[in-house]
Amino acid sequence: MCRGSCYRLIVLAATKMCHVCATIVHIVMNVSVRDLRNSTADVVAAVRAGELVTLTVNRDPVADIVPHSEQRDPWVASAVLRDIVREAPADEGLLTDLADVRGALVEDV
């Protein structure tokens, strides 16, 4: 039997468990800290492929490694921003409060 990368893939594949969430089936790969250390590239490749990985210590789950998801763009169109301000305007006393603390040090507030 091969003891190279194909052996590691067989060991990792043997530790998969299936969790059902609503109607979506998530395949979770359980990986021990030792397997992660010895097969980091294989685990990263699995995560890049969309697999969910649970990191275990003595078979106890300690962390989840999940594929990265891009966060939404923090910038919004000016028309959207105007709508937000129109629907939820600032507190009427905000400008007065800001004028009171303008120029003050943080420690003084």
pLDDT at 105: 65
- Given a contact cutoff of 8 angstroms between Cβ atoms, the answer to whether 34 and 55 are in contact is no
The better pLDDT of the pair 107, 32 is held by 32
54-103, pLDDT tens digit by residue? Answer: 999 999 999 999 998 877 677 888 888 888 888 887 787 887 888 888 87
3-class SS of residue 49: coil
Looking at the chain, the number of H-run helices and the number of E-run strands are 5, 4
Angle between helices 5-14 and 40-48 (to 10 degrees): 60
What gap in Å lies between CA 106 and CA 103, rounded to an integer?
A: 9
Domains in the chain with CATH codes: 5-65 (3.40.1620)
Rounded to two decimals, what is the model's pTM?
0.46
17-32, pLDDT tens digit by residue? Answer: 444 444 455 668 899 9
3-class SS of residue 11: helix
